[in-house]
Each structure stands twice: as C-alpha cells, then as structure tokens.
Chains A and B, each alone.
Chain A
Amino acid sequence: MLLVEDSMTREVVTVSPETRADEALALCRERRIRHLPVLEDGRLVGVVSDRDLRSATPALGDPARAAALRRLRVGEVMSREVVTVRPDEPIEVAANRMREKGIGCLPVVEDGRLAGIITTSDVMETLVFLVGANEPGSRLEVLMPDRPGSLAGVAGIFGELGINIVSVATGPRQKFPDGDTPGRVAVFRVDTINPSRAIEVLRRAGYVVLWPPQGS
C-alpha cells in the first residue's frame, strides 16, 4: 500500500525526439495531459510538457506560430535530465521529489524501462483516499502526549464506544497548551454523526480535542 505502483498511470502516452511540436500539443489536448515522456529505441531520453512546447514558439495569435510549431521537434525543447522514481518506492518519496524539484510529474522507471507515470493529481487522489475523505465521517483533531501508547489510548476509546475509525494521520510535534508537555496532533475520521460522547471521554482522559472546540 502507498507505493508508487499503486497510484501511477500504467498506460503512458509517449512521443519520440522526432515528434513535431504541433502533434505533441494535439496529443496533450486530446488526452488531457500535460507531460509526455520521450522515448528513443524504447529508452527514456527526456520529458516534454505542453508548456515547454508553447513557450518555445511565438505567442498565440502570432501568424508565425503554426509554422513554428510544425518545424519544432520535441527533441529540441525536452528536458534531458529526467527525474524518475521506481514503482516500489513509497508515494511520499515521489511526492517529496516532485516538491523539491518543483515539477509536476515523474516517469516511473523499472529496470531501465518506462513502467508508468505519476503526477501531482495521482498523489492528491491518494491523499483523499488515505484520509478517507470519500467516506462518511466526522473529523476530530486530537492533541496527545508524544509518548508510546498515546495513539493506542485514543483508538481504544473509539473502540470501546463502538465507533469505527475511517482513517488516522498524525502530524509533527506540537507542545501542549501548558507549553511543556511534548505532544503530537492526530487527525481522525470516525464513522459517526455523533462524536460528542467520544469527545467527552477523550477530554476526561487528558487528551486535548482541538476540533470541535469546547462548548459548541
């Protein structure tokens, strides 16, 4: 779970360095994609985006644009230093690589062969499923001591009340309101319309429920 191969697109639309810019742009339009891996003899040699192609030619409305797009070849504008990812790498590695390099997609390469492509939208979709935002639930933010057993304590309270946990994510460290106790925030999606009893028990057990706020 949560590997690149679980989220990537396997049927990749590719071009060759000899593909004309107008043909490549038409592909992007028809398939509603923005990035095309460039293959030569089955080997990945670059990536070209619709933006690379557009910005290399005269602006929209310029009469010289159509001719320039016919003349220009993908190989002339593609990025040759391609940042890639392996299918067995965790999705957070792919996400972080895209973030650090400021790019929107990574070709997925296995044994030197193009196995797929993963984009920011794929990562977003994974996030939606990961936090269970596609299933009915209430969202609770709980600040718990950053100590072994805290998460089990919260989960145990839900368990005893018969409330199913749809998803849980824990965040970076954060201090308790006393400014002293080291804590960590966990975001739960729980399958109930009525979390009030759980919130009451959590507060009594010493956890800080950040959302919903007290008294509302």
Chain B
Amino acid sequence: MVEIQSPDIAVRSSKLRTSGAENSQTFNRFASGLGETSEFFGDFGNFVVAPISAAANIYEWRQGEIGLGRLTFRSVAAGGGIAVGVTVGAVPAVTVGGVAWMTEKSYDGFMWWFDKMSQAMAQTEEALNNGWVPGR
C-alpha cells in the first residue's frame, strides 16, 4: 500500500497561492528591474556602440569596402540620430536611425535595379545594332 504524503502537497499548493498585494510587489520589482536594465543598455549602448560602429565604418572605408559618400552618409546619420536623441527623445532618434538605414538599403536596391536595367538596355542596343528585330 502506498502512502500519500498530503502535507507536502498542501505546502506546495500554499506557495502558489499569493495575495494580490504580493503579486503587485513582484510585478513592481520585475518592472523596476526591467526599467533599470533597459536604462543601463540604453545609456551604455550609445556610449559604447556609437564609436565602435563609427570605427567599423572607418575600417570598411579604409579597406575599400565602402566609399567616402557612404561613410559620410553613415556618419551624418549617426550624428543626427544622437543629436535628435539628446534634444527630442529616444523614439525619434530610433526613427532617424531607421530611416537612414532604410534610405541606404533603398539606394542599394535602386542601384542594383539601375545596373541590371543598364546591362539589359546595353545588350538590347547591341542586339539591335547586330540586326536583331524584335518579334521576328
């Protein structure tokens, strides 16, 4: 015969039952901790990440991976983002950063399309010069 240890179950179940005030305190501690953590990463994220990101851009430029125009654009965007963050707020700063990133990606996408179109047009022109007639 197996003996059921009911007191143990009772202890465990009592641990689960917490009052509303205790739940509220736990949530407040969690929210406070979350706030401090986000504050910590927000503060030092900017202090540390901004110069490292700028240095990475300078490194890429010196290696010939990006041009001077792109380096200037990224530097101005980063500086503008920090300036907006300081004067207006964090959310507008993130927006500036996001818009700058999207602008760069859009430019890359457009230039890719432009190159492909130029190649296609050059090939078409060459074919026409060689006597190709479309549709024949």
| A and B form one complex | no
Please report B residues at the A interface, Cβ cutoff 8 Å: none
Please report A residues at the B interface, Cβ cutoff 8 Å: none
